[in-house]
Amino acid sequence: MEPRQSIGLVAHDNKKDDLVEWVAFNKGTLSLCNLYATGSTGQRIIDKTGLEVTLLKSGPYGGDMELGALIANGKLDYLIFFWDPLQAHPHDVDVKALLRIAVLYNVPTACNRATADLIISSPLFESWQYKSGKKSA
């Protein structure tokens, strides 16, 4: 049996509706994955879709760092982070650290719906892991 993909889901307040809508649209594919999400984003996904989601802390309370730890420990294959480029965020340092660790560990990261669509529709999504030490193309 193929290992399940693990996906981190997080969104800033002004982007939560967009992420929840994206997850609902891709519910069939995402139901085959291990999903991790920060607090209120994850709860909204569960309420809308009924998908099983491992809830982490809210972003400002350490959820972004928890996602970063999952990446650093090789437990997250993809990061879907709908962030708001027009809004200032008090935990901006945590956001930048999460994006930095995703790049450092070569984790495919989507920061908007168009990129998330490209990731989930790619033939590489199910057949190839980007991280070394897992399977190869």
Known catalytic residues are: 64
Q: Could you give the C-alpha distances from 46 to 54, 55, 88, 94, 131, in angstroms and in order? A: 10, 10, 27, 24, 28
Distance CA 131, CA 95 (A): 22
Backbone angles phi, psi at 124, to 5 degrees: -80, -15
- Residues 6 or more apart whose CB falls under 8 angstroms from that of 19 comprise 9, 10, 11, 41, 45, 80, 82
On whether the CB atoms of residues 119 and 108 are closer than 8 A, the answer is: yes
Paired with 10 in beta bridges are 81
Amino acid residing at 97: A
